[in-house]
Amino acid sequence: MQPHAAERRYLERQIAYARPVFLVLALVDLFEEPSSLRGHHAVAFIAVYLGISLAIAAAHNLHGVDLPSLPLAADIIALSVFLLLSPSVIAFLFVYLFVALAAGTRWGLRRTVAFAGAATFALLVRAALRGPVGWPSVVSLLALTVGTFSAGIGLAFFGDRNRRHAAEHEFLARFSSLMDVDAGVSESLRQLLGELARGFECEMAFLVFRDAEIERIFLWTFHSGDEARLSPDNLPLLRGDGFLLDAPDITVCWNSLESSGDGFGWDRRNGRPLPDLPHMPGPAAKELGIRSFMSVTFDFNRLPAGRIILANSQRRFVPEDLRWLERVARHLSRPLENLFLLRHIRARAIDAERSRISRDIHDGILQTLLSVDIQLGVIRKRLRQAPEPAAEALSSLQQTVRNETEELRQLVTDMRPLRVESADLVDLMRGFAERYRTETGPALDLLIDSAQLQVPDRICRELFQIYRESLHNVKKHAHATHVVVKLWQNDSAVILVVDDNGEGFSFAGRFTGDELDRLRLGPISIKERTRSMGGVLTVESTPGHGARLTVEVPLG
């Protein structure tokens, strides 16, 4: 796994900052040597090397400047030259340790082992050539060899872990960015499963989610190369054992499902190996086309909610792969929970909107059509006996049908998707107010403090829908002669007030949205829209004298 460009820049900046630190230490050690043994060429060389390093570090600290980093080959060449010039082994070791750190960061630990071995051997040859070899010196050379090689490997390991951490951080951040609420659950899961399949070199990826509320299992399946929208399979809870949902605390991998199989795994609660590995049932594996797989659990609110399964790898899985997938699942648990929660909220909002439309049709147009049907039957019987009264009744019915046609047209208009931005909200509210006044509605005063109005677009859409629905309700049910609408914003919230002098609601007093829910009173759709914004709805009603509806939405 390689780090992303942004993470590589971060690692290069670390190397650029570390280089002058080690060179200063080497320079200090050189000045600790007696003047006669100091090696003026070594001092000059390190001084020039340090100057270049400080310039590179300063360039990396400048915003907007993207200069090429000093190649690792240049540091290795500098180390080789310094080995020949330096009279001090300690000064050389400081430079060597920096190059080992840089090599571990750029190359990784395995390739750096060869470099550390070569550098240690070169230092050993240098020490052997500069002095007589005896038993005391052999012991010293052995200690120097072991110490130099071990220290280089230690710094290389640190650099390699830093590189791996940066790559893993970028990998996990990329997964989180795939959880796009605007794209929806299916598209987000398609991108997520596709990224997992590519990252672990697998042909297939599955996400299994157990919905305890409706007692169903949803299965999303991704095949390598899929670009189409994913649609989940809806399965009964009885199929849970086929996806190891009956063993939620088991992390397991099978490299082969043939005969006795080849697998490993552990209990995710304590990391202990499992003596008896759970096996995916043969029928389920055959139905899904699984030959090998890794499976880990993801949680919602710290409780097992489902599994991520990667199948049919192009290489053999090792325990490190399974641990990495386990970390990915832990990292994804919260974004997945938020995504499914949004899916649930949207489903509830859709159901509430359907209920409102159904109720409006049932209480309005349907009742009118039933009444028209009854009256037409009466008129048909009286048509021959009293044609003139029948004609008047038909004319009245025709007007009723026209009114209901207009009502139906308005209902269809309200159902169309509405895009409202903050800059358009005031104009849209004023335009709707003008139409409302011309449609023989009650007198309407619209008071908006537009100078201070700066509201997010999502809240603007919901506020406009509440404003429009409130006025329709006043016109249809309140029989008011005057309505006052106020909209303003303070430092912490935006407030919408709709006040009419009509008949009011069937209840008297002042109630919040939650209190109205418990009493099963009040406008359902407006309550749901207010709740979706995190706002507070208050309804004040005085039967026979009017009502006031207040929506307050926090902006913090």
Which amino acid is present at 188?
A: S
pLDDT for residue 170: 72
Structure tokens at 135: 């038993």
DSSP reduced 3-state for 223 = strand
Contact assessment for residue 551 and residue 462, using Cβ atoms and an 8 Å cutoff: no
Residue 152 Cα distances to 115, 146, 165, 393, 413, angstroms: 9, 10, 20, 102, 73
For residue 301, what pLDDT is reported? 86
How many whole angstroms from its chain centre is CA 266? 28
Q: How far is CA 515 from the centre of its chain?
A: 34
DSSP code of 494? E
Alpha helical stretches, state H, 302-451: 319-360, 367-382, 387-415, 422-438
- pLDDT score at 476: 80
Q: Is 222 helix (H, G, I), strand (E, B) or coil?
A: strand
Q: Are 253 and 322 in contact (CB under 8 A)?
A: yes
Q: 462 with 532: CB under 8 angstroms?
A: yes
Hunting for tokens 């009723």 — which residue is that?
Answer: 400
**DSSP output for 154-203:** HHHHHHHHHHHHHHHHHHHHHHHHH--TTT-HHHHHHHHHHHHHHHTTEE
How many angstroms separate the CA atoms of 407 and 159, rounded? 71
Exposed (0-12), middle (13-18) or buried (19+): which is 463, by Cβ within 10 Å?
Answer: buried
Is 292 in contact with 254 (CB distance < 8 Å)?
yes
Strands 482-489 vs 443-448: parallel, antiparallel or unpaired: parallel
Name the DSSP class of 273.
B
Distance between CA 313 and CA 204 in Å, rounded? Answer: 8
Which ranges constitute the DSSP H helices of 222-312?
Answer: 282-288
Instruction: Tell me if 445 sits within 8 A of 484, measured CB to CB.
Output: yes
Q: Please, is 483 exposed, middle or buried when counting C-beta atoms within 10 Å of its C-beta (0-12, 13-18, 19+)?
A: buried
Whole-number Cα distances in Å, 447 to 94, 253, 358, 444, 495: 74, 65, 33, 10, 12
| The pLDDT of residue 21 | 94
- Spatial contact of 530 and 537, defined as CB atoms under 8 Å apart: yes
Q: What is the pTM of this model?
A: 0.53
Q: What domains can you pick out in the chain, each with its CATH number?
A: 5-175 (no CATH), 185-334 (3.30.450.40), 418-556 (3.30.565.10)
Beta partners for residue 295, in sequence order: 252, 309
The 3-state DSSP class for residue 543 equals coil
136's tokens: 């005391």
DSSP state letter for 277: -
Tell me what pLDDT residue 524 has: 80
d(CA 440, CA 199): 64
**Residue 67 is encoded by which pair of tokens?**
């200069």
pLDDT of residue 479: 87
User: Tens digit of pLDDT per residue, the chain (556 long)?
Assistant: 444 556 677 788 889 889 999 999 999 999 887 765 667 889 999 999 999 999 888 887 765 455 567 889 999 999 999 999 988 889 999 999 999 999 999 898 989 999 999 999 999 888 878 766 555 677 888 888 899 999 999 999 999 888 887 777 777 777 666 666 555 678 888 888 998 998 899 999 999 999 887 788 999 999 988 887 788 898 998 888 889 998 999 999 999 887 777 899 999 999 999 888 888 888 888 889 999 999 999 999 889 999 999 999 988 999 999 999 999 898 888 888 887 877 676 666 666 667 767 766 766 676 777 777 777 777 777 777 777 777 777 777 777 777 777 667 666 665 555 555 556 788 888 888 988 888 767 899 999 987 667 888 888 888 988 998 899 888 888 889 999 999 999 888 999 999 999 999 888 999 998 888 888 888 887 888 898 888 999 999 999 889 999 999 998 6
